[in-house]
């Protein structure tokens, strides 16, 4: 398996522009997590989906951020408009959560997208 795929790997944009980050889950996985990592704030969970449904978006910073899962294997994280403080590495991770839950589900991270907003 190719693992979690993220694109682009690097993005440099100017303040006010729209940014779209993309993520392809590992085949067969049904949970998707978007994280943001900075030196100051560490690794922060932004939102996670289970079976295409957003379960917890309490980590999404503000209305400028939105995430979607148009199908079971693909997700996007959009920032509109972008601001310099959004500069960070954005990771998506996927896992398989069996029906009924129980036990931790190992998260497999993509390589990340390094976003720089000027």
- Residue 110 binding other proteins, by CB under 8 A: yes
Taking the complex as a whole, the smallest distance from the CB of residue 9 to other proteins amounts, in Å, to 11
85, HSE (Cβ side, Cα atoms, 13 Å) = 6
In the Cβ-directed half-sphere of 89, how many Cα atoms lie within 13 Å?
A: 13
Distance (Å, whole) CA 108 – CA 32 = 10
Choice from 43, 61, 80, 118 touching other proteins (CB under 8 A): 43
Residues with Cβ within 8 Å of 101's Cβ and at least 6 positions away in sequence, in order, are: none
Q: Does 91 bind other proteins (CB under 8 A)?
A: yes
Decide if residue 111 touches other proteins (CB under 8 A).
yes
Residue closer to other proteins by CB (options 35, 65) is 35
Residue 106 contacts other proteins per CB under 8 A: yes
How many residues does this entry show for the chain?
118
Beta bridge partners of 95: 31
Q: Tell me the three state secondary structure of residue 22.
A: strand
| 66, 87, 107, 116: which one binds other proteins (CB under 8 A) | 107
Q: Which stretch binds other proteins (CB under 8 A): 22-30, 64-72, 75-83, 106-114?
A: 106-114
| Binding stretches for other proteins (CB under 8 A) | 33, 35, 42-45, 48, 55-56, 91, 93, 101, 103-104, 106-112
């Amino acid at each position: 398996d190719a693992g979690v795929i993220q694109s682009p790997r690097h993005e440099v944009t100017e303040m006010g522009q729209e940014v779209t980050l993309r993520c392809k889950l590992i085949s067969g996985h049904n949970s998707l997590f978007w994280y943001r990592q900075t030196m100051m704030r560490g690794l922060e969970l932004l939102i996670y989906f289970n079976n295409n449904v957003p379960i917890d978006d309490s980590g999404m910073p503000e209305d400028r951020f939105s995430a979607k899962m148009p199908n079971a294997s693909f997700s996007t994280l959009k920032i509109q408009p972008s601001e310099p403080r959004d500069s960070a590495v954005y990771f998506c991770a996927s896992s398989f959560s069996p029906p009924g839950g129980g036990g931790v589900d190992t998260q497999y991270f993509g390589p990340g997208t390094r976003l720089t907003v000027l």
